[in-house]
Structure 1
Amino acid sequence: MTGTDIGVAELESVAASLIDDQFWATDRTDELALLRHGSPVHWCETHGYWALTRHADVLAVSKDNETFVSRFGVLYGLLTDTPPEVPGSLLSADPPMHTHYRKILQPAFAPSRMRALEARLRVLAGELLDSLPVGEPVDWVAAVAVPFPLIVLAELMGLPPESWREFHVWVDSAVASGGRRDADKSPEAQRHLAEMYAYLRDAYAEKRATPDDGVVSMLVAHREPDGRALSDAELMLFLAQLFIAGNETTRNSLTGGLVTFSENPDQWARVVANPAAVAPATEEVLRWSTAVINFFRVPVVDTAIAGVPIVAGQPVCMNYTSANRDELEFGPTANSFDVLRDPNHHLAFGFGAHFCLGAALARLEIRVLLDELRTRFTTIEPAGEVVRTASHLIAGFSSAPLVFGR
């Protein structure tokens, strides 16, 4: 086999691995660079999709929701030739339905609500951080990264904060089985999904009787232009997605960020020394960790990406992990963690019509936690093996042992 043949085979292998859960159980910076440099718009013969790994190309597809649509599915395992009349999630909806759904949910993340939430976030972050041992190993995931965003979401919804433990089980199960049709999910995953739905049904029934200022009550009180209330199915769709999507970015970006700070103590020293570094550090944590790995779009007309012809109906895989390490966008330091990076036009929240609805909340949570952390601990050190979850959807962590020092 010639060197060229080996190169082609390697490129195809990486492109095919983008949807392989086990591929993502370890860091894949080098493999993604190989594909990004060698074939940034790559037709994956193995699975039948275009793999996009450059920032500019992922951005272009994200901006063009008329050519590249979501209704045929945004996860590889859920791609279909016949989209359902009612989308299974906000992610797989297109305008005008997608626009309408976002309008319903946007008040949950309104700037006024986020401002009112910050004081409570600082109290909660402080309580969790004050419980960490000093100078002894602790699993950051279990101690802070898991409970923090789930407690915030529960309180934002108007649900008991202690319900975070149940949602932890349900959300982890939903993410682990993500990209599979309901019939293909394990009995345990189906049971967890049923338990979450039952809990949420009880929650919105209770809020109908005794409303409060939480998001569940907001959705229950919502009326469509024709006066119709949201159906049970719509309420379930919105609430389940808010809990699943609203947890993962914060949880895994925080963990990825803290692990990286432990490996780059000079960067944590910058944050500790300068409160003004917290805001850009938040953006760098989001870029570096890139919690969402892949989403798909399907073109409805023949088109081209970076001059490469794309036939209508051929799915395109947008790999955000690679896009956020693209040297053409982030320069020669793209593979360096720099808390003062400016500009930092990362795609951790996507872009365009499907820009993450909860981005303001995730940014606030990460910023507050980093700010509270820097006043308590001057050092963060690795304390054992970091265990990544095997998923081609979410760049997650199941364990991250760290030592915090003063």
Structure 2
Amino acid sequence: MATIAPPQRPQVRREPTSYEALKAHFAAHPEERPQHPHKWDVSRSDIYFNDTWQPIFAEMRAAGPLHYIPESPFGPYWAVVGHKAIQHIEALPETFSSSWEYGGITILERLSEEEAAAANIDTRELPMFIAMDRPQHTGQRRTVAPKFTPTAITDMEAEIRARTGELLDSLPRGEVFDWVDTVSIELTTGMLAILFGFPWEDRRLLTFWSDWSGDTELATVRELDELRWSVLQEMAAYFQSLWIERTMDKEPGNDLISMMLHSEAMNQMRPEEFMGNLVLLIVGGNDTTRNTMSGIIHALDKFPDQRKLFEEQPELIPNAVQECLRYQTPLAHMRRTCTEDTEVFGQTIKKGEKVVLWYLSANRDEEVFDNPDKLDITRENARRHLAFGYGIHRCVGARLAELQLKVLLEEMHKRRMRVHVAGDVERVRANFVHGFRKLEVEITTF
């Protein structure tokens, strides 16, 4: 009997990065930079790039938990900035929908049928389970959830610890290097490759795709949005070849693709839905952990008293992880769409209005966290952070992220490793993903 040959991997581009493409575009067309006339329009990416967002959100919180922003490059929206108000809205998923059919989970405007037809493109929907309401959300989330149970996470710990230790042992001493590229990206893409059963030699593609998917500003530039879409289609084609390979496996594997393949809720997905869920799992598993791994190093360097505590009291590490997640907040916002006129904290939100939940602001809310702009690894209520969201859409991979961060700190401590910021620090220029593009450091010992 003839054996069926496994599918060929499709050709995919590996450059330019989304960052390079955006930078080049705005250098050539400075007049096209998005305009933000409203003083509280926190969708502007420069405040995250320059790390000047804190006083703006503090002023907004002082004036109330939510504010209507009538104009922005992403259309009008409600900016929800208070911790309590965000929890309240997240607890009402029927009233405040995450569905891609209303616009999904980021601040981006949904292309109307008319606009899409005028531009001769489709409406570019990316259905994914985080951007669904019940009951579809429940079935698809349930498919991948077994990969993230306490037992499954415990099973992965030894491998995570071995890989983390190996990487730390290979780091250069007495010279400056980029922590983001050498440590944060390497550890998170390696973890994703294991979760997906993804070809190890191509793992950096996961970072490339993650950046093209997660950069909301690309969508404000028509030709870059075209490029973004073709990059995502290449990603889907590559994963399609893995999907076909997995259908040939005699025994179903326990990687995420095999789990989707053998799930009633997911094995009949349309191509857009397959692509959407890949984007979700790649950005969710990549940007968040990667940016917190960099954020931890930057914060411990900025607050040497806390670094000293970490070095002297390693038992604080589990709480330090929670505090670093609060302090960094790797995804700045999530978006909902109101499905019926409703009142929230004295404000009327009308049906169809866009509601943007600024987790970044909630995690600095003075009503919940004392001295919120300070890193405090002994903070008793650090766990109240909303870095993973809240309610039915709380991050499915939160435990895995926490484990990766805990292991990184434990393995650094075991090696008495102290990391100093020793060169360029460059932040991500975006209003969705919140993190570091470059963090030049040097290692010493304590």
TM norm. shorter chain > 0.5: yes
CA distance in structure 1 between the aligned counterparts of 2:244 and 2:84, rounded to whole angstroms: 46
The match for 2:107 among 57, 76, 98 is 76
Give the partner amino acid of 1:250: T
CA deviation after TM superposition for structure 1 residue 179, in Å = 7.3
Q: Deviations over 1:2-54 (max 9, x none)?
A: xxxxxxxxx983421x2122232121111211111124321112242211111
Give the partner amino acid of 2:132: A
Give the partner amino acid of 1:70: S
The match for 1:321 among 360, 376, 382 is 360
Which SS does the other structure have where 2:381 is aligned? Answer: coil
Q: Deviations over 1:92-144 (max 9, x none)?
A: 21111111221122112122211110000001111111121223222100110
Q: Quote the residue 2:118 is aligned against.
A: none
Q: Quote the residue 1:220 is aligned against.
A: 261
CA distance in structure 2 between the aligned counterparts of 1:261 and 1:285, rounded to whole angstroms: 9
Q: Relative to structure 1, is the Cα distance of residues 182 and 93 closer, same or farther in structure 2, using a 3 angstrom cutoff?
A: farther
Q: Relative to structure 1, is the Cα distance of residues 231 and 202 closer, same or farther in structure 2, using a 3 angstrom cutoff?
A: same
The match for 1:13 among 30, 38, 49 is 38
Q: Does 1:171 align with 2:195?
A: no
Q: Deviations over 1:274-296 (max 9, x none)?
A: 22111000001100000111122
CA distance in structure 1 between the aligned counterparts of 2:350 and 2:234, rounded to whole angstroms: 42
Q: Quote the residue 1:231 is aligned against.
A: 269
CA deviation after TM superposition for structure 1 residue 239, in Å = 2.9
CA deviation after TM superposition for structure 1 residue 378, in Å = 4.2
Q: Relative to structure 1, is the Cα distance of residues 135 and 340 closer, same or farther in structure 2, using a 3 angstrom cutoff?
A: farther
Q: Quote the residue 1:7 is aligned against.
A: none
Aligned residue runs from structure 1 range 143-292, under 5 A: 143-177=182-216, 180=219, 185-210=224-249, 211-224=252-265, 229-231=267-269, 233=271, 234-292=273-331
Q: Quote the residue 1:6 is aligned against.
A: none
CA deviation after TM superposition for structure 1 residue 91, in Å = 2.6
CA distance in structure 1 between the aligned counterparts of 2:78 and 2:226, rounded to whole angstroms: 33
| RMSD of Structure 2 on Structure 1 (CA) | 2.4
CA distance in structure 2 between the aligned counterparts of 1:68 and 1:237, rounded to whole angstroms: 20
CA distance in structure 1 between the aligned counterparts of 2:365 and 2:94, rounded to whole angstroms: 26
Q: Quote the residue 1:32 is aligned against.
A: 57
Q: Quote the residue 1:141 is aligned against.
A: 180
- Tell me if structure 1 keeps the 8 A contact 2:329–2:359: yes
- Tell me if structure 2 keeps the 8 A contact 1:14–1:35: no
- Tell me if structure 1 keeps the 8 A contact 2:185–2:290: yes
CA deviation after TM superposition for structure 1 residue 205, in Å = 0.7
Q: Deviations over 1:218-249 (max 9, x none)?
A: 2212235xxx9433624443333211221111
Which SS does the other structure have where 2:348 is aligned? Answer: strand
CA deviation after TM superposition for structure 1 residue 184, in Å = 5.7
Q: Does 1:49 align with 2:70?
A: no
More helix by share: 1
Q: Quote the residue 2:413 is aligned against.
A: 374
Q: Which moved more, 1:186-195 or 1:88-97?
A: 186-195
- Tell me if structure 2 keeps the 8 A contact 1:272–1:375: no
CA deviation after TM superposition for structure 1 residue 354, in Å = 0.9
Give the partner amino acid of 1:215: L
Q: Which moved more, 1:21-30 or 1:287-296?
A: 21-30
Identical-residue share of aligned pairs (%): 30
Which SS does the other structure have where 1:392 is aligned? Answer: coil
Which SS does the other structure have where 2:229 is aligned? Answer: helix
Q: Quote the residue 2:31 is aligned against.
A: none
**What is the count of residue pairs matched by the alignment?**
390
CA distance in structure 2 between the aligned counterparts of 1:361 and 1:231, rounded to whole angstroms: 26
Q: Deviations over 1:47-85 (max 9, x none)?
A: 422111111111111111121111212222234789x9x
TM-score normalized with structure 1 length: 0.89
Long gaps (5+) in structure 2:
1-35, 114-122
Q: Quote the residue 1:8 is aligned against.
A: none
Give the partner amino acid of 1:329: V
Q: Does 1:351 align with 2:390?
A: yes
Q: Quote the residue 1:61 is aligned against.
A: 89
Q: Which moved more, 1:54-63 or 1:70-79?
A: 70-79
- Tell me if structure 1 keeps the 8 A contact 2:426–2:439: yes
CA deviation after TM superposition for structure 1 residue 255, in Å = 0.7
Long gaps (5+) in structure 1:
1-10
Which SS does the other structure have where 1:43 is aligned? Answer: strand
Q: Which moved more, 1:396-405 or 1:115-124?
A: 396-405
TM-score normalized with structure 2 length: 0.82
Q: Deviations over 1:305-339 (max 9, x none)?
A: 222222222222111111100010112x2111001
Q: Which moved more, 1:339-348 or 1:67-76?
A: 67-76
- Tell me if structure 2 keeps the 8 A contact 1:50–1:315: yes
Give the partner amino acid of 2:258: S
Which SS does the other structure have where 1:91 is aligned? Answer: helix
Give the partner amino acid of 2:43: I
Q: Does 1:90 align with 2:118?
A: no
Give the partner amino acid of 1:222: S
CA distance in structure 2 between the aligned counterparts of 1:183 and 1:209, rounded to whole angstroms: 40
CA distance in structure 1 between the aligned counterparts of 2:264 and 2:355, rounded to whole angstroms: 36
Which SS does the other structure have where 2:369 is aligned? Answer: helix
Q: Which moved more, 1:337-346 or 1:20-29?
A: 20-29
CA distance in structure 2 between the aligned counterparts of 1:178 and 1:116, rounded to whole angstroms: 38
CA deviation after TM superposition for structure 1 residue 177, in Å = 4.8
